[in-house]
Structure 1
């Protein structure tokens, strides 16, 4: 059991479908007389016919045909162009065609040559003794264009099989047949069936792009025309052989052997007793040859041959639904349509049925046929007969499916499907419009985590994004148009009136079932965040302009749905609030061109009585504008705080540190700093506030609590120190009595959690992959119940930092005094800002914090006046600008100072 648990941890996820089928037949040289070309076209272009065949089967890259009438013209074209396939139509000149093929093969030895010929007794007799060494395949042509598709796919399978098997474990179906007429008729049906099945299993993929890629993982079909060729193919691909379809009488040792099929079956089952083999023969008496396990018989010449073959392949090769049967009665006990259903049913399948199907590799074969190679390989090598109790096997299978689904969900923007979205889903979208800035950033972070598994190298920490659903911008468009909201939204009305109009509007009807499915899966509070087209733009950041509403969890899905729908409408309304309009004007954007997507995501954290919050949240930047001491500009900087991240965004007191120098923290350098400059309060979501009447203030249901309240929750253990007033010292950790200081000492100095190392890695990767400096938002829940590991590190957002390149390195002390308008010895950083007309200065003399709110109103009035006049200005003043706490500084917001 321990061995297989280890195998599960190391289960390879090698199924990158983008690397499959890299060799394609794009260009075909057709050598045929004008008459044969005319017959072939039947008054229509052959390109159109093959294109239609591809379209019907959802295939891409249909080949183009170039037609020539003789060998000389063919050689001329081969010298000018590249071809992946040559097709000869010799008519009644088969002998000349074989000789011509030899000459062409010398010129293009690596290009397959196929002969298409109408079959007659004379042609058959001639082919028996003809030298066909230059011809790769001969086919009987009856005018059916689906044969051309089968030929192209057969050639492509042969070109790609070795690499695709080696790369991800693609499966092989071997057809053993030496009758040209028979394999010419069976191959089109065989390919149509396999391609239809691949289209069906591709629905397991998460979006349209992945469905197209997943079809590349379909089983390859290889044609063997002799016993020797069949055994050679099997020996090369025996670990990946899905099944075999074999004639009884075919060539062996250079001669026709009427029992070659029986001998081949015996050879195959000696090596793999449960390999499925379908025997086909025109002699009904050969049915007795297919009486072994995993074998079946089908009679050639039957009018229902294609339908019978499809049914046998469905039953034996693992296509279609996985049907669990009672081994004694053959009665169906469970029917599985997809992987998620297998996950749900695995603990309820009867023991004898489970053993029966596992011992015969039915489960792994079903997974292989659906291109789920990693989990198929894992299950194939579980010897169920070694287990007296099937429960460990069930648990291993369940865990393997969960792991596979989690990994496949990472880094993928899935299309939301209500029947498939569950606790193991990660990121999905509703709609075809844009994702908007925040949602794009989240998707990028998810993909980055998948590309860099080293981020999850720590045994006790899982790096992840929250479970996310995105409503794309087209949902916003439909909502606005259906409810005729632009007339109201674009007026200069109070925010409350705009919000009221949006609250009474109706969301698109198509959202209802999807949102119901989402709230039934999510068992935590939900954040509803803006994700506009302009948000997180590289040169005009809109972060913080629009609303983010949090809704508490309720066990009643109806209540959750009501709160969620109201919150979505609230976020939409915030596009048209006065502060949004003011900022749009200041940044020269047009409000009615703004499009809003919405991010709906789980909130990171845990419940503590009536409140919910993470252990801590943070913001980190790869560029440190104000390095102190040993810090370098490129070392990055982070601000962390107990509780919800809105506390940081609103300008609360946070702990500042450089991830490269986590033990050098200015705020903890003296006792005075530590007592004055560290966090004294935190934000948590009020779980009892389920008011459906949403106000303009998106923080209406957040609790602002003193830090000491968190002590009883146990969330301070790793992030706080204790001030001992008697000894006048600060001790790491929680001690009885004394004020608690949010110092992060255990984490940053004792490294009980790899915060600094993770932030350094993420900032470095983010900067490299975005090609510019970045800012990230994150939240951490220590001792989390949400992951397989002990701690959860959630990446919530990434956006570019607006960094002006107009900088200079002159010594400011050497500038002539007469050239200076103002000078300070307390500023950090320098740069060039042109077109400045005015200075707005808030004097520090007689500064009174009680007047900060009034000061913010005055600054807003001045800003509006200067904005109307088109005059840019510098704003100078004391305190912490933009803080939500007016005692710390002047509480201006973006619209109040956006010029």
Structure 2
């Protein structure tokens, strides 16, 4: 065991040493090339001497640089079977080669002589040499021009003729390009002579007559081959109509534009691979550093093309992104993309939303100072077609047809599919890229997140449909790599899980060729004892869809937050509560009495245990007692309970983590810091710029607020309050409610699926509790869509103790018209206002109405007798689960209520809801 660990350590140190050599080599080359005053031959010889230091076997490394007629070599260079070559290209033409060879055979690494990192290093050095040599050539040309200017300064016509003659000899392609631009510029300025020049291009009398004689006939294409012959006329005309400085300015501008054409070509070519585009962006980065300036039209075109290639082709997205994302904003992102050789994928919806939001906030920092401290965690990306590459590499293409199977078959096969994915292999290039990411991130905890093509779009958020997995990222490099690949494979598998497939079917996206991008992101937070977690995290929404008081408006928004990782905020949990606040009216809280504040304070936190390498849930009070001083901003997060009073500590000196009775309220954060204002302004600005309400995720490490996600908020059309009738006979009322009522239209209900809280409480076997969820899922498929409601105990669809709520997923309830969660004191069944969880976002987006019922409350009506005594059709519809008929009741309302249906009316203004039997409309 010790020997094996020693070998691992030795290999790790060796890898790190190689990376250090490569970086040092590149750094020294950069230093040399940034000194353009040196004679070219001396510069190339210095580069020649440095290159071997970046290779694994420096003493055996030989180098040759060939450029035009020059050939420079290290002593003893000769061509061997063990060498690699990269072209030196200037303005899209080959100008030479850069070759590295080993004088003797060396040990192979992964089946090849040279490391992947060495191949990339050679490509980078060749690229930098190309830029430097272009600089020397242009400098030489401009030196000639200066001489020409001195010789011909007395005569504009002769001077420009000489300048163009120099260009004609040195770069014919550039000469034609500048001539064409000059002619076009003169035409646009309204010069009649220039237009005559253009019209007479290569056209005889018949062609000219044809070009103008018929409005419905396409004009004859004007050929530019005579530009060489007409250059004297073009620049003679320019000299007559433009001043010398303007002509010089235009020539310089057009030369710079010509230098950037490679980027335009790479991006606009639909056949360009991601590798080619990234190489072009990297090359452009060095050119821009030399002071290149592009016209506004070219810059805008590049911005649009880059958005389309890396993110979305949706016009709504492009129209905003082109205003806020510059070419330079891609410099960092392209250096953190892991891709296969022929990749043409995008970074997916989640990456797109976060990147655009961060650029919007960055651009508006001067106007809104609160944005200054907002950060985005370091992120690595795998493009969306990485999933397709993964499937083909493992001969698993048939998995793509999984989406066309019956939903129950998909649900049955999914657990096995996950294991198949986890046992599959990743291509070597992706594995190497993941190694680089791990080296860059170190042992900082990670979250691996989905970023599919369809995710986070307007009207189709896919909230929580795909997985996000947290990794402690501890252990050897090999162990961390395997856990990372395992997490990516599981997220790939989630593409074929029942929930997103059912969701795609509903949205009309089933036939869309869904691809899955990956985000590998540093977890925001700090270490507290053995645990790693944020000070707090949460979600925030532009629109508050479920107001707890009529005094809160829809546009006051909502923040839902807790201590630790945000998973307890976006997932429904069975046994805990988050803190809710409306950023537009932060003083109007959900819980106002001391009893409510104590009862509904968060008690658990999701954390990463760095010692056991697992994601786990811990008791907040235990964390406070043992590691309270390590909690950032603790005095702003916790309140003290003393002598029947809840008070907020004035500072860290007034809090004793070991002895004080503390509860999590965020009172100090809300009242003493700019946090609520910061989130409110962020929501307002993003909504205004993006043109839609937004949903953001955030986490705070005690110093900075980190933005983790931004997408269009799922929302239903605003509904008007419905009139509550007062003349309904008591025997026709099924239920009433007077707490947490929202507006909404509910269609006539013909079926009720009722899970009796008492019957559910008495189930002792976990399998039986799970089967209740399965029955609901089956009924969801066979009952008429939007003509039934679900009624049952506790918190549906939550993780944790399933005795506290029915265990269902979105695909098992998506056809219902309404969900009524029943609070039942006897079974500790308590609905939770899960506004902001993925579960509730699904309900809102699908226009499924939600209503909590409190039968034990004063004045509430709940006709349990009707629900228990009406004819139960469970055995007829789901014979396999007939043994659960005392728990699950399926009621055909017209049969049980003398031909009537169930009608539900909701009025948020009056905080009242009523469910009653009525004649069908």
TM-score bucket of the superposed structures, by smaller chain = 0.5 to 0.7
The yes-or-no answer on 1:732 pairing with 2:644 is no
Can you list the C-alpha shifts for 1:64-83, whole angstroms capped at 9, x where unaligned?
989xxxxxxx99x999x999
Alpha-carbon distance between aligned partners in 1 of 2:241 and 2:477, rounded to the nearest angstrom: 50
Distance 2:341 2:354 in 1: 12
Classify the secondary structure of the residue corresponding to 1:604: coil
Aligned with 2:709: secondary structure?
strand
- CA shift in 2, pair 1:714/1:864, >3 Å: same
Match of 2:471 among 551, 556, 568: 551
In structure 2, the CA distance between the partners of 1:89 and 1:508, relative to structure 1 (3 Å rule), is same
Partner in structure 1 of residue 392 of structure 2? 481
1:224-623 counterparts in 2 under 5 A?
367=289, 369-371=291-293, 412-413=329-330, 417-418=334-335, 431-454=343-366, 457-458=369-370, 462-488=373-399, 490=402, 492=410, 494-523=413-442, 524-554=444-474, 557-584=477-504, 589-590=509-510, 593-623=513-543
TM-score (norm 2): 0.51
Q: Does 1:144 align with 2:228?
A: yes
Q: Check conservation: 2:719, 2:745, Cα contact below 8 A.
A: yes
> For 2:420, what is the secondary structure of its paired residue?
helix
Q: Any conservation in 2 of the 1:852–1:889 contact (CA below 8 Å)? A: no
Q: Does 1:706 align with 2:620?
A: yes
Instruction: For 1:823 and 1:611, locate their aligned partners in 2 and report how far apart those are by CA, in whole Å.
Output: 46
Cα distance in 2 for partners of 1:199, 1:593 equals: 32
1:526-565 alpha-carbon deviations (Å, 9 max, x no partner): 2111122332343344211211112223485544433322
**Residue equivalent to 1:687:** 610
After TM superposition, give the deviation of residue 881 of structure 1 in Å: 3.2
Distance 1:888 1:56, change over 3 A: farther
Cα distance, 1:446 vs structure 2: 1.8
> What is the CA distance between 1:678 and its match in structure 2?
0.9
Change (3 A) 1:746 1:686: same
CA contact (8 A) 2:340 2:429 kept: no
Q: Whole-Å Cα distance in 1 between the matches of residues 230 and 616 of structure 2? A: 65
Given that residues 183 and 234 in structure 2 are in contact (C-alpha distance below 8 angstroms), is that contact kept between their aligned partners in structure 1?
no
Partner of 1:31: none
When the two structures are superposed, what TM-score results if normalisation uses the length of structure 1? 0.53
Which residue matches 2:912?
Answer: none
Structure 2 CA distance for aligned equivalents of residues 152 and 602 of structure 1: 61
Distance 1:857 1:713, change over 3 A: farther
Q: How far did residue 659 of structure 1 move?
A: 0.7
Contact 2:452 2:516 survives alignment (8 Å):
yes
1:202-240 deviation per Cα after TM superposition (whole angstroms, max 9, x unaligned):
79x99889xx9xxxxxxxxxxxxxxxxxxxxxxxxxxxx
Look up the match of 1:893: 809
Q: 1:411–1:448: 8 Å Cα contact kept in structure 2?
A: no
SS of 1:453's partner is coil
Find the aligned partners of 1:650 and 1:715 in 2 and give their Cα distance: 24
**Equivalenced residues, count:** 559
Q: Is the 8 A contact 2:637 2:667 kept in 1?
A: yes
Counterparts of 2:326 and 2:491, CA distance in 1: 27
The one-character-per-residue Cα deviations of 1:46-99 (angstroms, maximum 9, x if unpaired) are xxxx9xx99989989976989xxxxxxx99x999x99976649999xxxxxxxx
Counterparts of 2:809 and 2:617, CA distance in 1: 21
CA contact (8 A) 1:414 1:427 kept: no
Alignment pair present for 1:874 and 2:785: no
In structure 2, the residue matched to 1:861 is 775
C-alpha separation in 2, matches of 1:840 and 1:881: 13
CA separation in 1, counterparts of 2:429 and 2:484? 15
Q: Measure how far apart 1:828 and its partner are.
A: 1.1
1:756 offset after TM fit, Å?
0.8
For 2:618 and 2:463, how far apart are their aligned partners in 1?
22
Does 2:566 correspond to 1:645? Answer: yes
Aligned to 1:807: 719
Contact 1:615–1:715 (CA<8 Å) still a contact in 2? yes
1:198/1:807 CA distance change after superposition, 3 Å: closer
Residues of 2 paired with 1:712 and 1:581: CA distance?
A: 46
Shift of 1:416: 5.3
Which residue, out of 596, 599, 604, partners 1:673? 596
Q: Secondary structure at the match of 1:464?
A: coil
**Residue equivalent to 1:826:** 739
What secondary structure, in the 3-state scheme, does the structure 2 residue paired with 1:798 have? Answer: strand
CA contact (8 A) 1:806 1:832 kept: no
The answer as to whether partners of 1:445 and 1:465 remain within 8 angstroms in 2 is: no
- CA positional deviation for 1:415: 8.1
Between Structure 1 and Structure 2, which shows a larger proportion of helix residues?
2
**Unaligned stretches of 5+ residues in structure 1:** 1-49, 67-73, 92-115, 117-140, 163-171, 176-186, 213-335, 341-364, 374-406, 691-699, 783-790
